[in-house]
A and B are shown apart, each in its own frame.
Chain A
Amino acid sequence: MSSTQGTGGMLDAGTRLTTERDEQVTVKSLLGFGGQGEVYEVDTPGGPAALKWYFPQLADVHRWRILEALVDRAWGDDRFLWPRTIVADPSRESFGYVMDLRPERFHDLPALLRRDKAVAAATPRSLITTALNTVEAYKTLHEQGIAYRDISWGNVFFDPDNGDVLVCDNDNAVVEGESAGIEGTMNFMAPELVRRDQGVKPGIQTDLHSLAVLLFYLLMNHHPFDGALELRIHCLDEKAQRKLYGTEPVFVYDPVRTANRPVPGEQDTVIATWGVLPQVLRDLFIKTFTEGLTRPGERARESEWRDALSAVRDAIVPCATCGKENMTQPDGAAPACWKCRRPVDLPMRLELTAGKGKRRPQRHIRLNRGAELYPHHLHEDPERHDFGTPIGEVTPHPTTPGRFGLTNRSTWSWRVRRADGSQLEVPPGRTAALRPGLLLELGDGAEAVVRER
């Protein structure tokens, strides 16, 4: 028998367990614990992995069945730490599951909310990308009829450099309509769940509220209902939160009900962040946190968030004075820089129309130096935004300072049509000079016109 050593948790280091696939896993160390169980680093035949081990009182048949269903549904998506296989041991009162380890480049959202140095690399672009990736991850789940039911700042991890996300604790996800017991913390829960309205269960519609709260935290660094009314509360206990988030929620920027505006001097962060948020995103928050409070069907859907976030990402412009990135309204006017307050100088804009059919979405891409075109720009309803392989990039002219062009990074040729009717081929690796009025045929039915502003 192998020797074991305490880890401070339920399982000792050296403990050997067997998975449902008949693989041996060996416990190495306790990584952390939460409301449902503990997470260990374990050795498996396939290398190091993570093991979530439930507290015994939560390890029941119902949870086992949920886990089985989740393992069966695994689809190898790198945005999720999905349960790989169940681990049980007849001599123990509990069970768990094996999943991949979370790579170190992923940080938790509370670190961002605290403005921790560990995530200091975050920029408006990486945060918008994080939001977009989060929305698409949940969209993927919801499209399969799976409700996550516990969306919070505790189960989405992000890379502050590039906005990649990793969704963890997926063992709370169930097929819509099934119950799984957990209700989560009130600040993320849909008001109807906080109020415990009769017949309301956590599901995809309530997920959409939680998702909007998560996006608000991510982009605004504040809770959407914590305004003047929150400051009147002495002790923020269960009763106070039930009122604030359940029975009398008021969005801090509700255009009509203005009683809960943030208070200067006390809630300056949200005043600053909302002040520089493009209208296209403000509209979705307002809709979700006003009409959506009482009519869940009015909550912004993932596809709406995706389109708005994608559009804002394409409209991020560095300030010519201080260099800080600014979010701008996609086809809107130049804002004042959030940092130095000088007007942001807007570069030329690519007005791109995608798709071959009747639905032809228009996209506006600000042509900063280094701005990139991606495959999703050319699709009318992209499955997923992938920023790994650009198909075009704004580059400076090799000899003439101040001249810029769009370099073809794709594997196919583009076509340029000039105002006089002449046309030019732009093969891969070559660059089309950017000037207002230029028409580019980018392939697959997508075309783009360069606009001055």
Chain B
Amino acid sequence: MSDIPGGPMASRPLHFIWLLDCSGSMGINGKITQLNYAIREAIPEMRKAADDNPGAELLVRAVTFSSGASWHLAAPTAIQDFTWEDVYAHSTTDLGAALRLTSEALKTPPMPGRALRPVLALVSDGLPTDDWRSGLRDIDATPWGKRAVRVAIGIGEDADREMLKEFLANPEQEPLRVKNPKQLVAAIRWASTVAVATASTPAVEGDKQLATPMDRTPTITAGASDDDVW
């Protein structure tokens, strides 16, 4: 663009962190495979959401939790360079460990002095097995963690709705509950794009667009789906 003066618009980093349940139950009926698929499906939409918000530089990371927690993707990765490596399921549901690990990343430093609200996107299918409340308090004790845009997806009937609700810390917001792979794809897509829009271009009515999101998923399409059961 050397024919017009001025470089790219100034932008702020938008840190997006997936918190993914990789406990043993996620291995049942191919849920973990569906999760890997759904995240890959969401990548083009996330790129589009980033392109639509030139004031935001979208950087993605992922934490997995099962027996303990670890960075699946530790380096904040520009969405244009982001590719998804499969996660695998085994063992317990140590959400607290994941929250503690994430809280370390939400301190300044390593967070920069200036940024947009980070996004924390939690996906889980069951009950945490460690002290997750303590981990959540660690998140809330960081300046970036307490301001984070949060989205939560509960997979199947066993997902701990109360825990997900507590994670969201917003009375107007409900966790997304998904019952089949198609809904999971829609929910991941929704979470990864609407949360980015909420963090990068705040609306005057606050985080309203995060409320009642399931209407936006393709559940009203007529006709039964043959992949309704895991």
Q: Which residues of A contact B170 (CB under 8 A)?
A: none
Which of B29-37, B113-121, B157-165 contacts the other chain?
Answer: B113-121
CB atoms of A115 and B114 under 8 A apart = no
CB distance from A371 to the nearest CB of B (A): 18
CB atoms of A114 and B221 under 8 A apart = no
A114 to B221, CA, bound (A): 36
CB distance from A278 to the nearest CB of B (A): 13
Contact of B143 among A111, A186, A235, A246 (CB under 8 A): A235
Q: Which residues of B contact A121 (CB under 8 A)?
A: 3
CB distance from A434 to the nearest CB of B (A): 27
CB distance from B112 to the nearest CB of A (A): 9
Q: Which residues of B contact A196 (CB under 8 A)?
A: 204
A117 to B8, CA, bound (A): 11
Residue B134 is within 8 A (CB to CB) of chain A in the complex: no
Chain B 1-30 interface residues, beta-carbon cutoff 8 Å to A: 1-10, 12
CB distance from A305 to the nearest CB of B (A): 19
CB distance from B200 to the nearest CB of A (A): 9
Residue picked from B3, B8, B182, B209, most chain A C-beta under 10 Å: B3
Residue A273 is within 8 A (CB to CB) of chain B in the complex: yes
CB atoms of A226 and B10 under 8 A apart = yes
Residue A124 is within 8 A (CB to CB) of chain B in the complex: yes
CB atoms of A114 and B215 under 8 A apart = no
CB atoms of A115 and B1 under 8 A apart = yes
Q: A57-B215, A108-B52 are in contact. Are A236 and B116 (CB under 8 A)?
A: yes
Contact of A235 among B10, B117, B221 (CB under 8 A): B117
CB distance from A406 to the nearest CB of B (A): 27
Residue A387 is within 8 A (CB to CB) of chain B in the complex: no
Residue A92 is within 8 A (CB to CB) of chain B in the complex: yes
CB distance from A131 to the nearest CB of B (A): 13
Which of A5-13, A290-298, A442-450 contacts the other chain?
Answer: A5-13
Secondary structure of the B contact surface, majority rule: loop
CB atoms of B5 and A338 under 8 A apart = yes
Contact of A183 among B12, B52, B204, B215 (CB under 8 A): B204
Q: Which residues of B contact A273 (CB under 8 A)?
A: 5-6
Q: Which residues of A contact B10 (CB under 8 A)?
A: 222, 226, 266-267, 269-270
Contact of A110 among B51, B115, B221 (CB under 8 A): B51
Chain A 206-265 interface residues, beta-carbon cutoff 8 Å to B: 217, 220-223, 226, 231, 233-238, 241-242, 246
Of the four ranges (under 10, 10 to 19, 20 to 34, 35 or more), the interface on chain B belongs to: 35 or more
A38 to B48, CA, bound (A): 14
Residue picked from B7, B116, B182, B205, most chain A C-beta under 10 Å: B7
Residue B86 is within 8 A (CB to CB) of chain A in the complex: no
Q: Which residues of B contact A269 (CB under 8 A)?
A: 6-10
A274 to B202, CA, bound (A): 26
Residue picked from B108, B197, B201, most chain A C-beta under 10 Å: B201
Q: A189-B204, A222-B9 are in contact. Are A6 and B212 (CB under 8 A)?
A: no
**A-B contacts at CB below 8 angstroms, number:** 149
Residue A35 is within 8 A (CB to CB) of chain B in the complex: yes
Name the CB-closest residue of A to B113: A234
CB atoms of B197 and A12 under 8 A apart = no
Chain B 98-131 interface residues, beta-carbon cutoff 8 Å to A: 108, 113-117
Hey, what's the 0/1 contact readout for A404-442 against B, CB within 8 Å counting as 1?
000000000000000000000000000000000000000
Contact of A154 among B7, B52, B114, B218 (CB under 8 A): B52
A311 to B163, CA, bound (A): 62
Chain B 182-204 interface residues, beta-carbon cutoff 8 Å to A: 182, 185-186, 189, 193, 197, 201-204
CB atoms of B3 and A184 under 8 A apart = no
CB atoms of B9 and A221 under 8 A apart = yes
A236 to B198, CA, bound (A): 11
A235 to B137, CA, bound (A): 20
Q: Which residues of A contact B223 (CB under 8 A)?
A: 4, 12
Q: A183-B204, A236-B12 are in contact. Are A270 and B113 (CB under 8 A)?
A: no
Residue B229 is within 8 A (CB to CB) of chain A in the complex: no
Residue B167 is within 8 A (CB to CB) of chain A in the complex: no
Residue A193 is within 8 A (CB to CB) of chain B in the complex: yes
Residue picked from B8, B41, B55, B206, most chain A C-beta under 10 Å: B55
Q: Which residues of A contact B113 (CB under 8 A)?
A: 234
Q: Which residues of A contact B206 (CB under 8 A)?
A: 238
Residue A362 is within 8 A (CB to CB) of chain B in the complex: no
Hey, what's the 0/1 contact readout for A106-143 against B, CB within 8 Å counting as 1?
00101101110101111110010000000000000000
A110 to B204, CA, bound (A): 21
Q: Which residues of B contact A11 (CB under 8 A)?
A: 221
Known pairs A8-B218, A113-B9, A117-B1 / 19 extra A-B pairs, C-beta < 8 Å: A8-B185, A8-B189, A35-B197, A56-B220, A114-B9, A115-B7, A115-B8, A115-B9, A120-B1, A123-B3, A185-B203, A186-B201, A234-B114, A235-B144, A237-B117, A238-B202, A267-B10, A272-B7, A275-B5
Sample (5) of A-B pairs whose CB atoms are under 8 Å apart: A35-B209, A183-B204, A237-B116, A238-B203, A242-B204
Chain A residues proximal to chain B, CB less than 8 Å = 4, 6, 8-12, 32-33, 35, 55-57, 91-94, 108, 110-111, 113-115, 117, 119-124, 127, 153-154, 183-187, 189, 193-194, 196, 217, 220-223, 226, 231, 233-238, 241-242, 246, 266-270, 272-273, 275-276, 324-325, 338-339
Shortest Cβ-Cβ A-B pairs, 3 listed: A113-B54, A238-B202, A273-B6
